[in-house]
Homo-oligomer: A and B are copies of this chain.
């Protein structure tokens, strides 16, 4: 099996930059140091100085900020093919914590190796800059959601965004996807209570739009849900590679 084609990160970056075989093997060499973590483990602690970045190979994690009063704001969830702590490596200190939601496999990449790979493979650096831009676009969407979207739209937008992200790396379709997130995690990400999340999910199900039950999201009416959330996936997808 050709791992250069099947690594979720290669699949994701390939949407932006048509990577050559040489560039793909640099990318794969970065991913040799694999480590498992059990569910519920803290991978990175807010404030720590990082000397490594992680690439998530399998499983789900969440990134969150803890405020001085102990409140937690989940910034985003990461899925296979996502970097963990990329921003932190560049900023030299982690501005957030990262915790595994499920059992996961990560590749640990020393910061120096990553920067050396960028220097030797500039198109790879551009592809990673794209991935970082896409991550930022997601945080901006979450900011707008938290600031300005009503609860049903916020939940619907979130489920659609996750679906589009998973589809890009081969873990979902417009029919739905497997999703290990609890209503408590959704609540901490969306600024709602778990009770409120539960009520909104029931509403969306009764409207025949989406069913999230037993670890599975089923889009009962994808178009209808997109219309409700006014979901525009252009910030997630690429129509064509920018660098060919």
Contacts and interface: CB of A to CB of B under 8 A. Distances in A.
A53 B28 CA distance: 31
A191 to B, nearest CB: 5
Interface in A89-139: 90-93, 95-96, 111, 115, 118-120, 122-123, 125-126, 128-130, 132-137, 139
Kindly report how many copies of this chain are found in the complex they form together: 2
A184 interface: no
Interface stretch (A64-72, A161-169, A206-214): A64-72
19 contacts: A73-B143, A73-B144, A73-B147, A75-B140, A90-B126, A90-B134, A91-B235, A91-B238, A92-B238, A93-B234, A115-B126, A118-B122, A120-B122, A125-B126, A135-B136, A136-B136, A139-B140, A139-B143, A146-B146
Interface in A33-53: 47
A142 B143 contact: yes
Interface string A134-159: 11110111111011110000000000
A195 interface: no
B73 A129 contact: no
Contact of A144 (B75, B90, B133): B75
Given A122-B125, A129-B132, A92 B242 contact: yes
Contact of A115 (B75, B119, B142, B242): B242
B136 A125 contact: no
Given A86-B133, A143-B75, A239 B65 contact: no
A103 to B, nearest CB: 26
A87 interface: yes
Interface of A: 16, 47, 65, 67-68, 71-73, 75, 86-87, 90-93, 95-96, 111, 115, 118-120, 122-123, 125-126, 128-130, 132-137, 139-144, 146-149, 191, 230, 232, 234-235, 238-239, 242-243
Contacts of A73: 143-144, 147-148
A140 B65 contact: yes
A208 to B, nearest CB: 21
A53 to B, nearest CB: 11
